[in-house]
Chain A
Amino acid sequence: MNRKWLTYALGIVAITAFLISLPFVLRSPYWVSILIILGIYTLLVASLRTITLIGVFSLGHVGFMLIGAYSSALLVMRTGLSFWAAFIIAGLVSAAVALLLSYPFLRVKGIYFAILTLLTAETFRLVAWNWKSLTGGNYGLINIPAPNPLTIPGLGIMQFESFNSYYYLTLTVVVLSLFLLYRLEHSKAGFIWRAIREADILTRCVGINIMKFKIINFVVACFFAGVAGALFAHFQRSLSVDYSSTFGTMMSIYLIVYLVVGGPERFAGPILGATVLIIASEFARPLQENQPILLGVITILIVLYMAQGIVGLPNRFQLWYERALKRINRNTTSKTSLGG
């Protein structure tokens, strides 16, 4: 037991050291920027997976990311609020919108919920596109300031103009958020969420207000989507909502792809899916506009042949290994029995 704990602690220290040292190892602003985007998408996909715990899935998570991104950017630009307050408020605004929509949305199940969220994201995008006085319309928002410098005791003042320091900011926020989501999933609320997914009527019959827990789930997930949006806005320094931008329908598609390829059943799935696919598509740059074809083929193959996604690979290897072992044992025993 003690030993296992030690292994865990060592593992966490090793991963932390690896993540902190990455910018120094890579020495390339380009790759650091890819890592920042990767962190933001990981948070998005992980919070998308949280919604799947109650047995529905959202095709409109980018809509709540959009609300977070624009709230944070506009608060900082129009009211001069500090980034550190604005990015939390952005999450709260996104959560508030989710709270308003949650009651009608969560009355329906399955495909209907997916259709509604898809429509919501597209509506938010079109409203942002047409509300020219607030969002700049088709010109988009430009010159979004970087986060204000932060004084860290012992380390001095930290500026966030460079990619490296923004990487550490993203890393901190994403790791903290993932930790919170993980704790929530393993709390009593998380237990009830999964109970709703497996048997909602039964859950209601034992006296649990399932609507309340569904709403909590949706609002929490949308809060983190809003935070991810705020991180995205102040990293890109500009926002636009045209069809092919980050907030278009295609982005919802990519989020689903990351989730399914990683494996929706385990917490590590979204992290692995986003990491593997984003880095793979960076290496597939020479394919240019055919890059999405590769992603599509990977997705279809994984769904057809690896139902549990990348996360399921270790289990699969173990299964093969055990089967092979059994076969060898059987062969040897049958030989010995023949010999005897």
Chain B
Amino acid sequence: MGISAQLVWQAIVNGFALGWIYVLMALGLMLIFSIMNIMQFAHGEVYMVAAYFAYFLSVTLGINLFGAIVICMAVMAGLGVFLERFLFRPVRGRYILAPIAISVGLTLILQSGTMGVFGLFWRSLPTLAAGSLSILGAALPKDRITAVVVSVILVLVLYLFLKRTKYGQAIIASAQDYEGATLQGISRNKMAGMVMAIGCALAAAGGILAGSLFQIIPTMGVLPMIKGLIIIVLGGIGSLLGVVIGGMLLGFVDGLAIVFLGPMWASLIPLIIVIVFILVRPQGLFGHE
């Protein structure tokens, strides 16, 4: 066999890092879906626009990349509130295709807008950290570690926010039963604005981390968006743990399948996993009806 241990190790590390970035996408999509009941097709575009904004901040203006991440997350949260207020709120409760059409229109605008401004080239963000750690004789690149650490911190903060604060509990209540929540004085509009802000901020962080590990291009957002959606199907709506495990699973499968099975079978694997899940456990890993 031509598969070296080095290659497998690299695939595991890459899969782990990518898995956490997919988790950031999936958490945002899931929050938005459970409060607003829409599939935010343009979430991948938010991810991409954030990466380009970080490129502008860090390469053109020379701001430190971690500073750029914070600024981008804040700006994208603002964008999220704006989108919810002026595009998604007017079509709430309409035919299921209406919000999808809005987000699809948004995808076209953001993607070709970025293409018009920056051009259809690969560009690189500065790296998160240089060099690599050596653990048990195997090299562990520092930038991958940093990306995972940042993602884990964000997911933990989100978890604590949802479980321990008043606003987090309000979001969960509204997701479980918005009519009951409204009777308790929880405004669904406010919750929708809040989850759009959180979701877009998470997508921004994911986009910048991925852009710094790999490269950025205006079409980079579509694939993580699809992966995020798959993770939601795997993990089940409403379960943070399900999403994290689903993301790890998908990241590892993506990283390892291509080494062991070759590109053709590797591209079939996610579909097969999802179909098996739907047949065996339609509500997802930890989801409930």
Task: Please report A residues at the B interface, Cβ cutoff 8 Å.
Answer: 52, 57, 101, 104-105, 107-108, 110-112, 114-116, 118-120, 122-123, 126-127, 129-131, 243-244, 249-250, 253, 256-257, 259-260, 264, 289-293, 295-300, 303-304, 307
Contacts and interface: CB of A to CB of B under 8 A. Distances in A.
Interface stretch (B50-58, B62-70, B112-120): B112-120
Contacts of A101: 275
A86 B104 CA distance: 34
Contact of B222 (A114, A131, A249, A303): A249
B99 to A, nearest CB: 8
Nearest to A55: B96
B149 interface: no
Given A108-B282, A111-B33, A296-B109, A303 B102 contact: yes
B106 A122 contact: no
Given A123-B271, A130-B263, A249-B222, A293 B109 contact: yes
A127 B101 contact: no
Contact of B219 (A126, A129, A243, A295): A243
Nearest to B232: A115
Interface in B245-289: 262-264, 267-268, 270-271, 274-275, 278-279, 282
Given A296-B105, A304-B102, 8 more contacts: A57-B100, A243-B219, A256-B97, A256-B101, A289-B115, A296-B107, A299-B102, A307-B95
B100 A114 contact: yes
Contact of A116 (B33, B104, B278): B278
B111 interface: yes
Given A116-B233, A119-B229, A123-B271, A296 B108 contact: yes
B105 A299 contact: yes
Interface of B: 33, 39, 41, 87, 90-91, 94-98, 100-102, 104-109, 111-113, 115-116, 219, 222, 226, 229-230, 232-233, 262-264, 267-268, 270-271, 274-275, 278-279, 282
A252 to B, nearest CB: 9
Nearest to A261: B101
A249 B104 CA distance: 11
Contact of A244 (B96, B109, B116, B219): B219
Closest CB pairs A-B (n = 4): A296-B108, A126-B267, A299-B105, A296-B109
B105 A297 contact: yes
A110 B94 contact: no
Contacts of A110: 96
A264 B226 contact: no
15 contacts: A101-B275, A110-B96, A111-B33, A115-B230, A249-B222, A264-B97, A290-B113, A291-B112, A293-B116, A296-B105, A296-B107, A296-B112, A303-B101, A303-B102, A307-B98
A114 B102 CA distance: 15
A115 B39 contact: yes
B39 A114 contact: yes
Contact of A295 (B108, B226, B278): B108
Nearest to A307: B94
